[in-house]
Structure 1
């Protein structure tokens, strides 16, 4: 599979059964998850993926809170791109400003899929409000046609991947970040090409590979542990 090709059909069709396996592995990995590095109380804002809400990130946020972080939902409803965060992402920017004002310190952003692209945009536009960015299966580094979900993106968001504004946001998100960043990705992702979910080799953005699908990836034990280790400063580039 080349960098600009979507995942093959067999990976796409396996997403639902692999999501069930992910949930099962989550239940069987509680001891490992409880042993994850402890948090330092920093604020963490979790951004959901395309079409999802804060309900889908509740498990991850509860776990981060138990580790000792202050994890927040984005409180913007269902992620429908610009329809949700507003033109020029102003609503998301206001949410970030509010958390910065409430906590008195820069916020770590964890973005899942489309949420990761939004997290990278915020890090570029409001660097002073962002401590670190962690993306999970976020296709920020390549064309939307290297995914199997670009038509769903257009339908849910009302945006067209060829629109100049959409292309400009994509280019901005792909640029190296001015804050520490980590990209968690999978070469067996059935929705998005894993190669566009990380920066090129040699960049300052750490890349951590896991073996899993796209649906529910933020509840994959390996992804959760990678997040905890990154927050604790223990993750190494792979």
Structure 2
């Protein structure tokens, strides 16, 4: 999403991975339908807002929303329809989206959790910075906050939908790579066929951030049973007592050669 990649030598995923995306996503969806949820931790009722990826809408995140609701959370999709990317001036667009999140969750005085899939994860991270104490934690799924448009296969779709080049001003790149000041989980897959997995890695080894690797496609990550289990575990972490997931990797481990 920028002209300043964190990993200059990293390219977009191999074409074989991109070609396998549809079939793998279908398999992940089927696995979700067969998933046994009885042993998963139950929710405490706090609000969860879910942001869809580029070129998707509430239908794509409906299974994840239903999953969170079934666990006992007050789950909302972003309620902005089809995600075509930010329109107009970016800062003003994010301010408006942050205000919309406040309106969506006004019936819930306790801090909310934000979950973002792909581009939606960038929204979640930036909104968490704007809303500060109103956010409990952020979970991103296959979100390339540390990379460039050239390190994904989504730039053409972004250009078609938004009418703009997928370029973030150089001065904002450092901000996007910086995690919010709340517990922040980045879930990524080395077999992601849309975005280079290295662009989903949080560099700072801070006590409130973590990177968790799963095996999955990009288009099916939001339905992937392994991802859903991680989300269930993360959402039930107590306020003020968040601890890293047992599968969390350090930056050095996550960026080791495959």
TM-score (norm 1): 0.90
- Asked if residue 16 in structure 1 is aligned to residue 19 in structure 2, the reply is no
Query: Secondary structure in 2 aligned to 1:131?
Result: strand
Aligned residue in 2 for 1:120: 125
| CA apart distance, 1:2 | 7.7
| CA apart distance, 1:122 | 0.6
Aligned residue in 2 for 1:197: 200
User: Which of residues 140, 144, 149 is equivalent to 2:145?
Assistant: 140
Q: How does 1:11-160 map to 2 (within 5 A)?
A: 11-29=17-35, 31=36, 33-83=37-87, 87-160=92-165
Structure 1 residues 162 and 2, CA, compared in 2 at 3 Å: closer, same or farther?
A: closer
Residues in 1 aligned to 2:216 and 2:187: alpha-carbon distance in whole angstroms: 11
C-alpha RMSD over aligned residues: 2.2
Residues in 1 aligned to 2:69 and 2:157: alpha-carbon distance in whole angstroms: 32
Query: Secondary structure in 1 aligned to 2:138?
Result: strand
Structure 1 residues 3 and 49, CA, compared in 2 at 3 Å: closer, same or farther?
A: farther
Consecutive unaligned residues of structure 1, counting only runs of 5 or more, are none
Residues in 2 aligned to 1:84 and 1:228: alpha-carbon distance in whole angstroms: 35
- Asked if residue 162 in structure 1 is aligned to residue 171 in structure 2, the reply is no
Q: Is the 8 A contact 1:100 1:129 kept in 2?
A: no
Aligned residue in 2 for 1:207: 211
- Asked if residue 188 in structure 1 is aligned to residue 191 in structure 2, the reply is yes
Q: Could you list the per-position Cα deviations for residues 171-209 of structure 1 after superposition, in whole angstroms to 9, with x for gaps in the alignment? A: 322112211100110000000011111202634411111
Bigger fraction of residues in helix:
1
Residues in 2 aligned to 1:157 and 1:73: alpha-carbon distance in whole angstroms: 21
Structure 1 residues 70 and 40, CA, compared in 2 at 3 Å: closer, same or farther?
A: same
Structure 1 residues 56 and 128, CA, compared in 2 at 3 Å: closer, same or farther?
A: same
Structure 1 residues 228 and 126, CA, compared in 2 at 3 Å: closer, same or farther?
A: same
Residues in 2 aligned to 1:230 and 1:3: alpha-carbon distance in whole angstroms: 32
- Asked if residue 178 in structure 1 is aligned to residue 184 in structure 2, the reply is no
TM-score (norm 2): 0.84
